[in-house]
Structure 1
């Protein structure tokens, strides 16, 4: 049985909005944490609440073992969302590894009759273009070098031995999970899907991201924004506005949808 404490362990609400009608559920990248999305909370209109997923093995869950497989991770998040007493309409957003976790979670939610209104995937090739990898087999220096290359982790954190000892086990586990992940390429969502990538993202090219078209039976919208793999850091307002527009929700007046 899912308890409130187990729901709370998976879902973070940096700016609670009890009267909100929609939850924007955000899934972090490999090695990422719920706090990555905290700045987005103030960019949302009052009727949308940010709900960020916290994977085990990092930040306030650092004492828990990281999840080893995609099935285990998506099953747990879907269970927490189904049991969430807020009971709101859901929009899912995931970046990089989080894109695959969001899609797998959405499939499970639809299978139990609690499907989301919309899914937005970012910086990740479509399921039919998932490629295996060996980053998780590298030593700590090699793993840190990969994080530096992608640019999603502050270099000073990777230079601190104590921080590295806390950070890298979860990073390695996430890379193992996503590099050994084998999606069901015949699976299809029933809700609309938007796929976004940066125009200089070598990890998820425009052509690879367009493959998400086959991951839904509903409307599909591709979008390319300026930047590399972590384009969404510098363009948080634009990304949030685009997510809201894709889902038919108006952006706040202070943060109009950008062309």
Structure 2
């Protein structure tokens, strides 16, 4: 392990549909000196807003892995966190990073059924207004930017591409990962049942834990500190 990273592991955050790295910026302060926080930067949002978004989860993981390896640096201890779409994208990244010899200590998935369960109700392919209404219903909140025509024009194609890749996701392999998985869920999540969130146990040959937080599918908007506390407790357990 390189001296540079010492005891500080990197927490790599993978955004959910329509979100970018800025969602996780407040977590930097909350992480303090516990973690070095990094985010996957996908095309079609924020600094990469003019780039064509991915429509396939495995392609997105494959297209991001070089940047992720460079961001992590040699010998980094890494924990991956992904919510909803970010959960399955993080799962694919764990496979790719393990192949590259990157030491992933734990995968923390949130608001997601196991990777082999596909969503029954879909938003992809609906006309714009119906699509937005369905996404709002799924997520439990509406992004303010969608009420501004110019911003909506920029955001909508990426949101549609994200939903398409999430709803058509099939794992690239049936081989489970060898890193521990912790699955998180909002206690009143209308999209993901407790049973579905616990399906992740079949996706690992290592330890599995399950934790619920008060709230719905987007519980993590107000629970950054609590989520980081759980991740830290999990990390301490596995040392």
- Structure 2 length-normalised TM: 0.90
More displaced stretch, 80-89 vs 175-184 = 80-89
Alignment match, 1:75: 62
Matched, 1:53 2:47: no
- Report the alpha carbon displacement of residue 47 of structure 1 after superposing the two structures with TM: 4.6
Q: How does 1:27-176 map to 2 (within 5 A)?
A: 27-84=14-71, 86-87=73-74, 88-131=76-119, 134-149=122-137, 150-154=139-143, 156-176=144-164
Q: How does 1:6-25 map to 2 (within 5 A)?
A: 21-25=8-12
Contact 1:24 1:90 in 2 (8 A): yes
Alignment match, 1:253: none
How far apart are the structure 2 equivalents of 1:92 and 1:167?
25
Aligned length: 232
Q: 2:214 aligns with which of 223, 226, 246?
A: 226
- Report the alpha carbon displacement of residue 133 of structure 1 after superposing the two structures with TM: 5.0
Runs of 5+ consecutive residues of structure 2 not aligned to the other structure:
none
Matched, 1:180 2:168: yes
How far apart are the structure 2 equivalents of 1:94 and 1:192?
14
How far apart are the structure 2 equivalents of 1:187 and 1:153?
36
More displaced stretch, 144-153 vs 193-202 = 144-153
Q: C-alpha offsets along residues 79-106 of structure 1, whole Å, 9 cap, x if unaligned?
A: 2222336332110000000000001100
- Structure 1 length-normalised TM: 0.84
Runs of 5+ consecutive residues of structure 1 not aligned to the other structure:
1-16, 250-259
How far apart are the structure 1 equivalents of 2:32 and 2:103?
22
- Report the alpha carbon displacement of residue 115 of structure 1 after superposing the two structures with TM: 3.5
Matched, 1:202 2:190: yes
How far apart are the structure 1 equivalents of 2:72 and 2:210?
33
Contact 1:19 1:47 in 2 (8 A): no
Structure 1 moving runs of 4+ over 6 Å: 17-20
